[in-house]
Amino acid sequence: MVRKFFKKKSTGGKLDLFIDKYNIPRAYLSTNRKNITKGLFIGLFIAFIPMPMQMLAVLAMMPFAKFNVPIALSMVWLSNPVTMPAMYYIEYLTGSFFLQTQIEPVVMSVEWFSINLKNIFIPLYVGTLFYSLTVPVIVYYAVNYLWKFSVHKERYSMKDEND
């Protein structure tokens, strides 16, 4: 089922023309299980890191790994301006828990952040490290398992129909 969905989406004349025109390696747009799961992993890993220009960080990973770039770029948008405050606050709380530091009461203002940056920086990045490593790994293995299960189920349902 999953393979059929992506095959329908990937067979398009306009996409082939775009790839040929701009000389884009096909591996970066490939819709196989390995490239999709790697794209999810890289995109989520970078999405949890509080930094500017996360999409450029995904593009900077391209020479080092072959992954589905559109999937990775879309995963980076998980941390958008609406979700960022909640994500980073949870990362700060988690980092404070791991470091067993006192949690500063947070006030959403630029003044508060400029005064307390040195107090929240290390707990924030400890929590970031935790979520940047655990969530992408869980998603990677879950999608990998579900993809294999879907293919296995599809093959056996086709085998039963032929019998």
Cα radius of gyration (the chain): 20
Cα separation, 29 vs 33, in Å, equals 12
Burial zone of 48 (CB within 10 Å; 0-12 exposed, 13-18 middle, 19+ buried) = buried
**CA–CA dist 42, 56 (Å, integer):** 12
pLDDT in tens, the chain (163 residues): 555 666 665 556 776 676 676 666 667 777 788 889 999 999 999 999 988 899 999 999 988 988 888 899 999 998 888 988 889 889 999 999 999 988 777 777 888 878 888 888 899 999 999 999 999 999 999 999 998 898 888 777 766 666 5
| Interhelix angle 33-47/69-76, nearest 10 degrees | 30
Number of domains in the chain: 1
- The per-residue pLDDT for 11 is 54
**Domain hosting residue 41, numbered range:** 2-162
What is the rounded CA–CA span in Å between residue 128 and residue 105?
19
| Placement of tokens 């329908």 in the chain | 8
Cα angle, residue 112 at apex, residues 93 and 52 outer, rounded to 5° = 70
Q: Which two tokens stand for residue 47?
A: 């999405």
Q: What is the pLDDT of residue 162?
A: 62
